[in-house]
Amino acid sequence: MCKKVNTKVKGVYEINFSSKTTKANAYITGLGNTRRIVIADNLLENFTVDEAEVVFAHELGHHIHRDILKLIFWSGLMCLGGFYFMSIILEKVSLYFRYGISDISNFPILALSMSILLFLFGLPFNFYSRKREKVADYFALKITKKTDAFITSMAKFTNRDLADAHPHPFIEFLLYTHPSIGKRINYAQEFKKKIELEKQEE
């Protein structure tokens, strides 16, 4: 598959998840020439070959689109922004209460402000992450054309991970780094219809 899309990874590795959890997972890790795709043994043992292929293609999509670098970049911006706003908050609080910025009394304010800022900055980060996941899904569907395997793999992820396939949209907006399983399945079904229409027109 890597040759098909004119790319390469350092390797594909299996990781032992079964000794600790029933969850199935796969991910890409590393930068540059060290990029590699890791697949959980639970996935290899309980998913069909076609299902494992679309999961691999999804991770390969992240590799092709350099999503790790993009997410590192946005995480760095979030950290810089967070430190900047926390320094302003601590400075204002120190002036108000008339004690030094390094005083231990600032710790509760530091912890509270950090929690609030992480939550607020997490909203655009999660939104961006969901967009990248959708792009990787599209890549997997386009390169494999195995929409049924994609749909059944999503259903298996739901069952094995005890995930909510249809969370409330507001909860998804606040907390989810991936589109909900329900949305991903719907997207695959739409892609399948598109392929069928294209075949009819040929």
Q: pLDDT, tens digit, for every residue of 125-177? A: 999 999 999 999 999 999 999 999 999 999 999 998 888 999 999 999 999 99
Residue 6 falls within a domain, yes or no?
Answer: no
Q: Which of 4-13, 28-37, 97-106, 135-144 is the least confident region?
A: 97-106
Helix, strand, coil percent values for the chain (each to nearest 5): 70, 5, 25
Name residue 25's amino acid: N
96, 114, 151, 201 from 194: Cα distances, Å = 62, 46, 15, 11
Q: pLDDT digits over 98-111, tens only?
A: 777 777 877 888 88
Q: Is residue 4 part of a domain?
A: no
**Average of per-residue pLDDT across 73-96:** 88
**Mean pLDDT, rounded, for 180-199:** 92
Quick one: pLDDT at residue 202? 67
75 within domain boundaries: yes
Strands 36-40 and 11-15: parallel
DSSP assignments along 137-164, one per residue = HHHHHHHH--HHHHHHHHHHHHHHHT--
User: Is 108 domain-assigned?
Assistant: yes
88/50 Cα distance (integer angstroms) = 53
Residue 5 in domain = no
